[in-house]
Chains A and B, each alone.
Chain A
C-alpha cells in the first residue's frame, strides 16, 4: 500500500530553510550542538540531548543527523558516555541519511549508517555501531558495543541476526524516505 498522506498543523511544526520540520513539542536540549541535514522530520515528543557534550571547550557537534531522516514520536536520541583514559565523557553521535527511527525508540548508538530502518520501542545500546542498509525490527534490544553489519535484519533481545536484506534495499529505503517526506504536509487550514 502506498503511504498515506500525514497532515500536521502548521502551528505545531517549525520548518527551517533547509527543509527540516521540527515539532515545537519535541524536546531539544542544546540545539546549538545539533546538526540536522535537510528534509529531516522530528515528530512530537522526540528528544534529542545535545547538551551532553564532550568535556572541553569549543563548539562541538554532539548529534548530527543526515538528510531525509524521520524521527518518530517519543524517540530519544542520547549520545553515549564512557570513561576513556581516566576521563569520563559523552561522545558525539552521527546518524546517516535516509534513517527512519520508530516510535518510542531509545538510541544511544555511536554511529548509525545511512538507509537504516529502526522499528518501534527498540533500545540501541551505548556505542553500538549500525552500518549502512540495515533493519532493526520492532522491540529489539541491541546491547552496548554491538556492531550490526550491512544488509542485516536484527531482532530480539539481545538483537541477533535473523535475516538478510535484498541487494535492492538501498533504492527501496531511499524512495521510501523521500516519499515519506513528500507526504508529510501541513493541513490546508
Chain B
C-alpha cells in the first residue's frame, strides 16, 4: 500500500518513500529552469530508449548539495552527458534544503521533492503518448463552479457578475472566517417553512465559534433566503462604487468614439506611470494621427476627499487590540479595508472549481470529472495508479552504514494483463549507496476482481523457483534488494523501471471504425458474414521511468 501512515513524532528523521519521476523534471532542475533543462530532458528520453539507463543516471542530480563537478562520466558509450547548469544547482539547493516528510509530499498538491519526483498518487498517465504526466505537464481547465458551503452549482454565465462568490446565503464571519449560520430571533420559527409571516428584521447571521452575530453591526434580514441579494443593495450604495460608476460613464463616450483597440487618448497616457503600461504605449505610438483632438473634458468627482483626521484620532485613542482589525481581517474586506472591528462585515463565500486535465503534448483529456458539483465520479480518469505498477516498501531493515540491509519492494500490477518489469539500479548518485537487486526481471500477475472478495493472502506462498522473486501473491510480486549505505543520512537510490505489458490497440491505431461492442449492437442484419466477436488485437507497450526510493536514515556504525 502507499506510504501514507508514517510513524509520528520522529522530528527531522526521514521516512521511507517511493517517488516516480515525470519526464518533465529533467536532471537536477525544476521545470522553470532555463531552456537547457528542456533539451536535457529530451536527451534523457533518448538515452532511456537506447536502454542505456544506467548512464543517464549520471545526469540525474540525486544529490542536492554538491557542486557541478560532481556528475561523473557515463560508463557506457553512446550516452549523452548533459551537465546541469550551475544556476540550476544553486536554485535547487536554495529552494529545497528543507526535507519534507512523506505525509507532506503525499498531501501537498503539485509540489514534488527536490528531484522533481512525486508520489504515484499525484501522477497521470497519457495513453496515447505512453508516458507519465505530472501535474505540471497537464493543463487545467475549469469544468464547473460551485459554492463550497451550499454545494450549489453556479451557472458559468453568472459567475463573473457575482464576482466569483456565492449569491445565496453563504457568508463568512469577519472575525474568525468561519461559516455563518442564519438564525432567527424566535426559537420556534423554523428556517425552512416558506410563506410564514415573520416579523421584520427577525433573522440575523451568527458565528458559532466566536459568537459574533450580525446584530452587532445592525444587520438583520426579513427572510431567511436570498440574503446576498439583500446585502447587494448595501454594497452598491458605497460611495466609491458610485464614484467608479460615474467615472466609467464619463470615459465611456471616448472609448466608443475611438474604439478601445486603437489605444488610449494621449492625455490619459501621459498621466499614467510608464512601467505598467508599456505595452499600451507601444500600441498607441503607432496610432499617433488619431490622437490629435481627443483630450477628455475635465472630470469633477462628486465626492470630495477630505483630510481624514477623524480616522487618525480614533486610531490614536485605541485602548485595546480588540478594537482594531488584524491584517487578515482587513484584507478580506477589500472594498473598504477598515481599521475598526465595528465596521467589519460578513463576506460572501468564494466559489470553488472542478478541474479537468489535459496532456500538454498530445492534447488528450486525462481527467474529466462529472459536471455536477456533488458527484465524485469521473467520466475519464487516467491516473497513473491504474496504469503503472505501484511500488511500495513491504519490509525494511534498519539502515546502518557499511552494513548490508535487506529491503523488500512490492510491485502491484493494476492492469488486467500480465506485465513484465525490469529494473536497473541507477549509477552516479551521490552518495552512491550500494544496491544489489536480486531479481532484475520478473513478471507480475494481472489484477483479478475475484481476489477482492477473499480475505487477503498474507502468508507468502513459497516463491517460484524460475523467477527468483521473494514472493508472489494475487496481483503483486515482491523482490528483495540489498542496500549498503555508504554514508550516514538519508538513503535514497534511483531505480530505473521498465514496465512492459500488452495493451489493447486503440481505435485510431487499428483504423477499423467499429469497436467490438458496436458490432454486437448493430444487429444481425447484413452482418452475418462477419464473425460475432472479432479478435481483440494487443500491442506490446513499454513504459520506462525513473523512481527515487528513500529508505529513511542510515545510522553510522558504532566504530566510526
Give A contacts to B, CB under 8 Å: 1-3, 5, 83-86, 125, 131-133, 135, 137, 143-147, 149-153, 158, 160-161, 163-164, 166-172, 175-176, 178-179, 182-183
Contacts and interface: CB of A to CB of B under 8 A. Distances in A.
A170 B385 CA distance: 11
A128 to B, nearest CB: 10
A137 B373 CA distance: 23
Given A2-B394, A143-B209, A167 B381 contact: yes
A86 B396 CA distance: 61
Contacts of B386: 168, 171
Contacts of B410: 2
A1 B458 contact: no
B367 A167 contact: yes
Given A125-B208, A170-B376, A153 B107 contact: yes
A168 B376 CA distance: 11
B151 A176 contact: no
B274 interface: no
B2 interface: yes
A147 B151 CA distance: 8
A135 B4 CA distance: 12
Nearest to B377: A170
Contact of B208 (A5, A84, A132, A145): A145
Contacts of B384: 168
Interface string B1-14: 11111100000000
Contacts of B3: 1
A85 B386 CA distance: 50
Contacts of B376: 131-133, 150-151, 170
A153 B109 CA distance: 10
Contacts of A86: 187-188
26 contacts: A1-B3, A1-B396, A2-B1, A3-B1, A85-B190, A86-B187, A86-B188, A131-B374, A132-B376, A143-B209, A145-B208, A146-B179, A147-B151, A149-B373, A151-B376, A158-B209, A163-B108, A167-B367, A167-B383, A168-B121, A168-B383, A172-B4, A172-B121, A176-B1, A176-B4, A183-B456
Q: Do most interface residues of chain B lie in helix, strand or loop, or is the interface mixed?
A: loop
Contacts of B352: 149
Given A145-B181, A182-B455, A1 B6 contact: yes
B532 to A, nearest CB: 34
Nearest to B373: A149
B425 interface: no
Q: Which of B108, B146, B176, B455 has the most CB of A within 10 A?
A: B455
A166 B381 CA distance: 11
Interface of B: 1-6, 15-16, 107-109, 121-122, 146, 148-151, 176-179, 181, 187-190, 193, 208-209, 352, 367, 369, 373-374, 376, 378, 381, 383-386, 392-396, 410, 452, 455-456, 458
A171 B452 CA distance: 13
A145 to B, nearest CB: 5
A173 to B, nearest CB: 9
B178 A179 contact: no
A45 B385 CA distance: 36
Contacts of A1: 3, 5-6, 15-16, 392-393, 396
A105 to B, nearest CB: 15
B190 A179 contact: no
Contacts of A132: 376
A149 B148 contact: yes
B547 to A, nearest CB: 16
B150 to A, nearest CB: 7
Contacts of A170: 376
Given A158-B178, A163-B109, A85 B146 contact: no
Nearest to B384: A168
A70 B381 CA distance: 28
B248 to A, nearest CB: 35
A77 to B, nearest CB: 20
B458 A182 contact: yes
A71 B350 CA distance: 34
A167 B135 CA distance: 11
B184 to A, nearest CB: 11
Contacts of B1: 2-3, 175-176, 179
A14 to B, nearest CB: 18
Contacts of A151: 376
B188 A143 contact: no
Contacts of B5: 1, 3
Contacts of A85: 188-190, 193
Nearest to B2: A172
A189 B131 CA distance: 50
Contacts of B6: 1
Contacts of A172: 2, 4, 121, 385
Given A147-B149, A172-B2, A163 B385 contact: no
Contact of A145 (B179, B369, B378, B394): B179
A182 B395 contact: no
Contacts of A83: 187
Contact of A158 (B107, B122, B176, B385): B176
A164 B376 CA distance: 13
Given A167-B383, A168-B384, A172-B2, 13 more contacts: A2-B394, A132-B376, A135-B107, A143-B178, A146-B179, A147-B148, A158-B178, A168-B121, A168-B381, A170-B376, A178-B456, A182-B456, A183-B458
Q: Which of A132, A149, A170 has the most CB of B within 10 A?
A: A149
Contacts of B189: 85
B381 A179 contact: no
Given A1-B392, A143-B209, A176-B4, A171 B190 contact: no
A177 to B, nearest CB: 10
A2 B177 contact: no
Nearest to B16: A1
A149 B146 contact: yes
B209 A166 contact: no
Contacts of B181: 144-145
Contacts of B151: 131, 147, 149
A172 B3 CA distance: 11
Q: Which of A86, A169, A172 has the most CB of B within 10 A?
A: A172
A131 B149 CA distance: 11
3 closest pairs, A vs B, by CB? A182-B456, A86-B188, A168-B383
A85 B189 CA distance: 6
B352 to A, nearest CB: 7
A151 B374 CA distance: 10
Contacts of A153: 107
A166 B106 CA distance: 9
B204 to A, nearest CB: 15
